[in-house]
Amino acid sequence: MLANPPFGPREETGALMKPRTKVIVLIASVVSFLGAFFWLLTTHGPLSPVGVQVGNAVRADLQPSVFGIGTVDARLSYAVGPTAAGRVLRVLVDHGDEVKAGQLLAEMDPVDMDRRIEAAKSTGARSRQTARVADALVAEAESRAKLATMNRDRDRKLYEQHVISKQALDNSTVEAERAEAALAAARANAAAVRQDTGRVDAESQGLGSLRENLRLVSPVDGVIVSREAEPGTTVVAGQAVLRVIVPESLWVRARVDQSRAQGVQVGQVAGIVLRSAPGTQMPGRVARIELQSDPVTEERVVNVSFDAPPARLYLGELAEVTIQLPAEPGVLVVPSAAIVREDGQTGVWQMVDGNARFNPVTIGSQGQAGVTQILAGLGEGDSVIVYSTAQLKQGARVREQKVDQR
Amino acid sequence: MTTTEPAILIENLTKRYGSGPTAVDALKGVDMSIAPGEVVGLIGPSGSGKTTLLKCLGAVIEPTSGRFTLAGEVIYDNAWKRTDLRALRRDRIGFVFQAPYLIPFLDATDNVALLPMLAGVKNAVARATALEMLTALDVQHRAHARVPELSGGEQQRVAIARALANKPPIILADEPTAPLDSERALAVVKILNRLAQEFQTAIIVVTHDEKIIPTFKRIYQIRDGKTYEEAGEGRSI
Amino acid sequence: MINLARRDVANHLGRYLLTGVGLGLLIGVTLTMAGVYRGMVDDARVLLRAVRADIWVVQQNTLGPFAEPSSLQDDVYRSLEGLPGVVETGNVAYLTMQAKHRGKDVRVMVAGYTPGRLGGPSFLVAGRPIAQSHYEAVADAKTGFEVGDRIRIRRNDYTVVGLTRRMVSSGGDPMVFIPLKDAQEAQFLKDNESIVNDRNRLADNPAINRPGQPGVLKAVETIQTASHRVNAVLVRVEEGHDPRQVADNIKRWKHLTAYTSADMEEILVAKLIATAARQIALFLIILAVVSAAIVAFIIYTMTLGKIKEIAVLKLIGTRDRTIAAMIMQEALGLGVIGFFVGKFAATLWAPVFPKYVLLETNDAMRAFVITLVICALASVLAIRAALHIDPAEAIGG
């Protein structure tokens, strides 16, 4: 063996790390990778528990409200039209005009009515003349009867004095009777003539009323909202020529779900939002709840009046109303998102020992702030699951975390 | 130096490539006899059949006819007498090449210990043997170095140590000094001589390196498929 | 005997791991595609599961309401509630349409339901449920809407009051829940021109527009524009009653078609999404085959890169099976690394994928086994090539 090998010992240039360090680094990285792997699997993969966000049942003042949509309508709305078929002669007002009660709005064509009225008047005049004649005849008959009666009475006296014969008395008696009868006849005649006059007068008056009806007047102070027939159009009885509304009587005829209509009462404050002004809410009040609900749509009709009707309103415009029901102070509420239906029951999910448990509750009204009243099933301070990342099942493993949209 | 049995005995070995009119006779009847502990040179120009002879000696290719006796065991007599040639190479023949051909992902000790391990020796024992061999070649201080960290000369010595690991009766060295300068080449030959004596291994060195040919005591020349024995200078190093 | 594979890998660890990561990404993409397929099938089922109706009642002889159009009177539910075994019902209307949000159109499926009854979302991730009878909406988070946003559907603006998640139609469109009446109006009410046109046509019709009966025209107009129809009625069956029996009952006595939720699932999965699912399945198979080929190729090339070492090993007398074991171990190791990296990557990027990706554990197991099998087969091919290497090549010649 040579002491010194012919080739000198080479320097250990070597790798960057000693073998031992390398092994340690390798094992450390494998372990950390596996750790990351299993962490990922349990938090994101199919094996991970469902993430939930919890909230508490607290006491709060509940501000329930009921929502409905409807149209702007007029409570007092009149269709002005003729009572008999006819032709429109003239229309004096138009869309948007303000009218006063009694104001002439339109007129139907009287056709021959004026002439009939004339005729009736003439007949009336003539009848009055005939009455005068009859009266004169009555006067005449009266005087004759008077004379005859006087003669009879005188003749009676004379007969008692045996001045005249019985025959003469009988003559005057008969004469008197005849004159009485003639008087009665004349009176009856006069009465008949007067009756006739009365009839003719009544007929004349009737024609006058009919003639009045052809004049369409406004029943109230209001605004014309539609002009439905032009001069020359034939309209039938009952058909509207014009429509008048009372602007102060405008309200929103809103439909509210029957299931939520409980608690709506006349006089409650409501907010009205018109479709044409979606940003502005106008104050109003529940004016009337109609007794007749809609069975098909399952809605109740609630009429909400405006506290102060705005300058321009359009009939038929869509409006949304939000009726404020009386506040319920200090009731137990939970976030509405926590209320679920499971197997036909209403309840909440609760996190118990890391598992999801369903707890049936009885709920009351919903408030405006996204909370729902709990009537039974929970106590103050109980925690409920509000949001979850997946559907919950009884007994599912859950983990509390902040649930965000992703 | 010569004992009763030669380490290698080649008798009339032939090798024919191909058949028919295009056949080539690479070896036309080679005779060789080498004693244990002897270091002989095998010299010849390219095309002389030198590589073919080496491959036959290494049991890498099959000769066409002849007899090959290795440390008293006839391993070829017109046909292989052993079925597992790879085991034969592993246990009975050591190879040293022009290039070290170490396994790059094993360190020096494991490269050397690999052969005994493959032979079924327990890891600890194999490593001990490897260390012994490395020590014999004066590279024990590089025992745990990776192959790329070793210098060319160190790699060559590890390769030689590997060749010795199973203590084979013969070592075939194919141009072991070709890339080296004269100082190092002579050093390698010196080591080979030492090891041959120490372990009583026969070493055949195939070479045409003029720097080391004078050191051989015996030389086999190969020309046209036949070998001719001649005495060498035997110059001491 | 030392473990050659371990030492070989340790020798060029960086390259080995990088190859594993590359394989892993490939496997991850394949897993993701499988997830898309599963997600597609899940999309078809998710609405059914969320709504949790036992029976879907639709127009007679239709496959509605999703596979075919279906239209029912909205008061049918009253007669259904009287049937034995029926606990609760709910009218629903569905229509796929564009919702306008911040100037952009979003494709959604609008679902109309009555709050408090069947048909609505079963959980929320933000906000609150619908409280008003009109103009409020709960949307799926996939729409991109936020609580408080105003969106436009047809003629009306809706305020988004709540958000939910994983509420999609069978086509993957996110859902927006609105009150039923609004949905009915959106579905059945025509546009203004048509309405005016129809009104004019009615007014010209002397049979309807009678001079003496002005009320008739109005009544007919109201009938024309009123929408009292729904697409389906959902029914929940009492515990202990068989939904199939109740469904048969409905079919027989009410002259409607009733599907149990199992039937609906079959209709959606087998009929509605079948084509799309088959396309994805085909993609998946192609992707898997290509991935397998690439994996095999990588392992094969990796082995061939070791020809020198293998030749030397063979030359110095290493047994064939030792060499084979080294190659096989390295290949399987690559497969294991690749699988873990792939599963990790797929789980990481699945939520960001535009389509819903459902990664099931079974699929992952299957992928693991297939990966190892592919690696083993590829290494076998490589081993065969390796073992053919002639050790004589190591000896210069």
Q: Which residues from chain A sit within 8 angstroms of residue C238, using beta carbons?
A: 344
Token reading at A97: 């005009």
Calpha distance A255→A70 (Å, rounded): 6
Chain A residues in contact with B157 by the CB 8 A cut-off are: 5, 7
Among B141, B145, B116, B149, which Cα is nearest to B130's?
Answer: B116
Distance (Å, whole) CA A66 – CA C133: 9
List strands edge to edge, sheet with B8-17: B24-34, B8-17, B65-70, B73-77
Please report, for residues A14, A33, A190, C152, C303, the alpha-carbon distance to residue A27 in angstroms, rounded to integers and kept in the order given: 21, 10, 141, 58, 26
CA distance A304 to A284: 6
pTM tops 0.80: no
Residue C158 has pLDDT above 90, yes or no: yes
Q: How far apart are CA A142 and CA A184, in angstroms?
A: 9
Spatial CB neighbours of C310, under 8 Å, sequence gap ≥ 6: C303, C323, C386, C389
Task: Please tell me the predicted confidence (pLDDT) of residue B113.
Answer: 92
Q: Which stretches does DSSP call E strand in chain B?
A: 8-17, 24-34, 39-43, 65-70, 73-77, 93-96, 170-174, 202-206, 218-223, 226-231
**Predicted complex ipTM:** 0.75
Q: Identity (one letter) of the amino acid at B163? A: A
* DSSP state, residue A363: E
User: For residues C382 and B89, is the Cβ–Cβ distance under 8 A?
Assistant: no
> Tokens 């902040």 label which residue?
A402
- Asked if the Cβ–Cβ distance from B153 to A13 is below 8 Å, we say no
Q: Do A257 and C162 touch (CB under 8 A)?
A: no
Residue A82 — φ and ψ, nearest 5°? -80, 160
Q: pLDDT at position B21, please?
A: 87
Q: Of C13, C181, C347, which has the smallest distance from its Cβ to A40's Cβ?
A: C347
Whether B97 and chain C come into contact, CB under 8 Å, resolves to yes
Asked if C113 contacts C228 with a C-beta cutoff of 8 angstroms, the reply is: no
Token digits of residue A351? 């996190």
B196 to chain A, minimum CA–CA distance in Å? 13
Query: Cα dist. A291→A258, B12, C265 in Å?
Result: 12, 130, 46
Burial (0-12, 13-18, 19+ Cβ within 10 Å), C305? exposed
- Give me the pLDDT at residue A14, please: 42
C126 vs A341: CB contact, 8 Å cut-off? no
Question: Measured in whole angstroms, how far is the alpha carbon of residue C121 from the centre of its chain?
Answer: 17
SS3 (DSSP) at A308:
coil
Query: Which phi and psi (to 5°) does residue C186 adopt?
Result: -65, -35
What would the mean pLDDT of C205-223 be, rounded to a whole number?
A: 75
C14 touches chain B (CB under 8 A): no
CA distance A40 to chain B (A): 35
The dihedral through the CA atoms of A42, A46, A49, A53 has a sign that is positive
DSSP secondary structure, C357-380, as one string: ----HHHHHHHHHHHHHHHHHHHH
What's the CA gap between A332 and C397, in Å, rounded?
97
pLDDT at residue A131, rounded to an integer: 86
Both tokens assigned to A106: 């339109």
User: Which tokens is B190 given?
Assistant: 């010196």
Both tokens of A69, joined, read: 């949509």
The answer to whether the beta carbons of residues B66 and B15 sit under 8 Å apart is no
| CA atoms of C235 and C252, how far apart (whole Å) | 16
- Asked if A99 and A247 touch (Cβ cutoff 8 Å), the reply is no
Q: How far is A387 from chain B (nearest CA, A)?
A: 57
Chain B CA closest to residue C397: B51
Q: What is the pLDDT of residue C149?
A: 92
**Do C343 and C383 form a contact (C-beta atoms < 8 A)?**
no
| Distance from the first to the final alpha carbon of chain C | 32
User: Which residues in chain A touch residue B184, judged by CB atoms under 8 angstroms apart?
Assistant: 6-7
- Segment A243-267, tens digit of pLDDT: 998 888 888 999 988 877 778 889 9
Of B135, B145, B153, the CB nearest to A7: B153
Residues of B in contact with C1 (CB under 8 A): 117-118, 123
Q: Across the interface, do B149 and A12 touch by the CB < 8 Å criterion?
A: yes
Q: Give the tens place of pLDDT for each residue, A275-300.
A: 888 888 889 999 998 887 777 777 88
Q: Say whether A2 and B141 touch across the interface (CB within 8 A).
A: no
Q: Is the dihedral of CA C338, C339, C342, C344 positive or negative?
A: negative
- Looking at chain B, the number of H-run helices and the number of E-run strands are 6, 10
For B85, name the nearest residue in chain C, comparing CA atoms only: C317
**Cα dist from A203 to A35, A111, A206, A215, C340, whole Å:** 111, 18, 5, 19, 111
Please report all neighbours of C, defined by 3+ CB atom pairs within 8 A.
A, B
Judge whether B98 is closer than 8 Å to chain C, CB to CB: yes
pLDDT at C397: 42
Q: Kindly list the residues from chain C whose CB atom is less than 8 angstroms away from the CB atom of residue A298.
A: none
Question: Which DSSP category does C304 fall into?
Answer: H
pLDDT at A269: 92
Q: Does residue C15 belong to the interface with chain B, where contact is any CB pair within 8 Å?
A: no
**What residues of chain B lie within 8 A of the CB of A5, using their CB?**
137-139, 157
**HEC states along B172-216?**
EEECCCCCCCHHHHHHHHHHHHHHHHHHCCEEEEECCCCCCHHHC
pLDDT at C212: 67
DSSP H or E run through A270: strand A269-274
pLDDT in tens, chain A (406 residues): 333 333 334 434 444 456 677 778 888 888 888 888 888 777 776 667 888 888 888 888 888 888 988 999 888 889 998 888 889 999 999 998 899 998 999 998 888 888 888 888 888 888 888 888 988 988 998 998 889 888 888 888 888 888 888 888 888 889 888 888 988 988 998 888 888 888 888 888 888 888 888 888 999 998 898 898 899 988 888 888 899 988 888 889 999 888 777 788 899 999 999 888 888 888 999 999 888 777 777 788 999 998 887 777 778 888 999 999 888 888 899 999 999 888 778 889 998 888 889 999 998 888 877 888 988 888 888 889 999 888 888 888 888 888 876 5
Give the burial class of B3: count Cβ atoms within 10 A of its Cβ; 0-12 exposed, 13-18 middle, 19 or more buried.
Answer: exposed
d(CA B10, CA B57): 9
B224 in reach of chain A (CB within 8 A): no
Q: What is the mean pLDDT of residues C282-292?
A: 89
Cβ(B10)–Cβ(B67) below 8 Å:
yes
CB of C165 within 8 A of CB of A53? no
Query: Closest-CA residue in chain C for B110?
Result: C2
pLDDT at A45: 66
Summary mean pLDDT of chain C: 86
User: What does the DSSP assignment read for A189-234?
Assistant: HHHHHHHHHHHHHHHHHHHHHHHHHTEEE-SSSEEEEEE---TT-E
CA distance, residue B194 to nearest chain C CA (Å): 23
Instruction: Give per-10-residue mean pLDDT for chain B (237 aa).
Output: 74 89 88 90 84 85 90 88 83 85 88 89 91 88 88 87 89 84 85 88 88 89 87 81
Residues of A in contact with B137 (CB under 8 A): 5
Residue C329 forms contact with B (CB below 8 Å) = no
Say whether C395 and B101 touch across the interface (CB within 8 A).
Answer: no
Name the residue among B186, B181, B179 with its Cα closest to residue B212. B186
pLDDT of residue A11: 37
Provide, as residue numbers in chain A, all residues whose Cβ is less than 8 Å from the Cβ of B146. 15
Over residues C256-278, mean pLDDT: 87
Considering only CB atoms, which chain B residues are within 8 Å of C309? 103-105
Residue the block writes with tokens 């080391």: B212
Nearest CA in chain B to A1: B136
Q: Are B196 and B202 in contact (CB under 8 A)?
A: yes
Backbone angles phi, psi at C102, to 5 degrees: 50, 45
Q: For chain A, say whether C146 makes contact (Cβ under 8 Å).
A: yes
CB contact under 8 A, C318 and B106: no
SS3 C114: coil
Please provide the average confidence, as pLDDT, over all residues in chain B: 87
- Yes or no, beta carbons of A12 and B145 under 8 Å apart: yes
Task: Please indicate if any CB of chain C lies within 8 Å of the CB of B17.
Answer: no
Q: Does B20 touch chain C (CB under 8 A)?
A: no
